[in-house]
Amino acid sequence: MDGLNVSIAFFFLVVGVCQALRWLSKRLLSSGTHGCLAKEFAGSFQLCTSCLELRMLMEIGPWGGGFGLDVVLTLLFLLSAVHGASSDGAFANPTVCLQEFLLLESSLAATVAKLLAQGVGAGTGWAVTRLYWSWELTQLHFIQNLIAPECSSSIHTALPHAAFVEGSCTFLFHLVLLKVRQSHPLYRVPALAATVTFLTYTAGPFTGAFFNPALATATTFHCSGSSFWDYIQVYWLGPLAGMLVALLLFQGNIPRLFQKNLLYSQKSKYKVPKAKVTAQVEGDKPQRKRKGGKSNSEPRA
């Protein structure tokens, strides 16, 4: 269990460093630069380092550390919750940035800047984690350092099935995100953390369950066993398709591309009350004069 304790300390250190980076960038940089670059860089760095360490525990832990999958999934839920609570609005996921762009919530320049920051943050996280493994602080890291150069692809199924799995994971994740994104963090953070944990447990044996193109690029694109185009289809095209289908199903349209709702009819929130015909008492009716101005009643002799 010593190796697990070192990994937990590493998680705390990464979260602390990223929080300090967010705090400094908020004080020293403009709001636009902080939102487009610093937050996304810190979020991607935190997510990538945590994911790599968790994958190491998941692969080596059961036979090299003496703990099971339940421990790793518990850590995954807790780290996902911490990431959601501390990210300051940055999801560190290219499909989420593209979703905001398609919903007219972000400009093209801001979206491109976020994507670049996410790529740099994920690459930096991969390099720092490899350096951390090279110190071989535990037996788990010693084993990981030996097998890291010979890593194999995370795709363990047929290519169309793998793309479908990543697309389905992204589809479900974005449906939950669209549903809870306006909710209070007390409800939103656990809901997203539980979704990530469930999808990782379900789809992990097939593709690694990244449903995050930047994270997959930094984690598995350099591994042998699949071509670069295979990785693009599974970890980029699959998630993009899943995000688009989720957005179309939830919204009924894609605001950036077209305004017409293709799935749901637009109904007014306000109902116009129908006119009610009320029967009047016969004695209350005003007497009308006939055409010609004469009264209906004539004086009697």
% of the chain with per-residue pLDDT over 90: 58
- The average pLDDT across 281-285 equals 49
Q: How confident is the model at residue 295 (pLDDT cuts 50, 70, 90)?
A: very low
* Mean pLDDT of the 50-76 span: 87
Tokens of 233: 């289809």
22 C-beta neighbours (distance < 10 Å), count:
21
Q: Name residue 291's amino acid.
A: K
Which of these ranges, 144-148, 154-158, 226-230, has the smallest mean pLDDT?
144-148
Using the predicted structure, report yes or no on whether residue 279 has a pLDDT greater than 60. no
- Among 204-208, 264-268, 278-282, top mean pLDDT goes to 204-208
Kindly state the average pLDDT of the residues 104-112: 91
Per-residue pLDDT band for 35 (boundaries 50, 70, 90) equals low
Closest to 231 measured CA to CA, from 242, 218, 241: 218
Query: What's the pLDDT at 151?
Result: 85
**Band (81; pLDDT cuts 50, 70, 90):** very high
| Confidence at residue 90, expressed as pLDDT on a 0 to 100 scale | 86
In terms of Cα–Cα distance, which of 167, 283, 277, 262 is closest to 216? 167
Q: What is the percentage of the chain residues whose pLDDT exceeds 70? A: 85
* pLDDT tens string 194-232: 999 999 999 999 999 999 999 999 889 989 889 999 999
pLDDT at 281: 45
pTM given for the model:
0.84
Which tens digits make up the pLDDT trace of 236-254?
Answer: 999 999 999 999 999 888 8
- 272 pLDDT exceeds 90? no
Q: How far apart are the first and last CA of the chain?
A: 121
Question: What is the structure's pLDDT at 1?
Answer: 64
- List domains and CATH numbers for the chain: 1-251 (1.20.1080.10)
pLDDT band at 68; cut points 50, 70, 90: confident
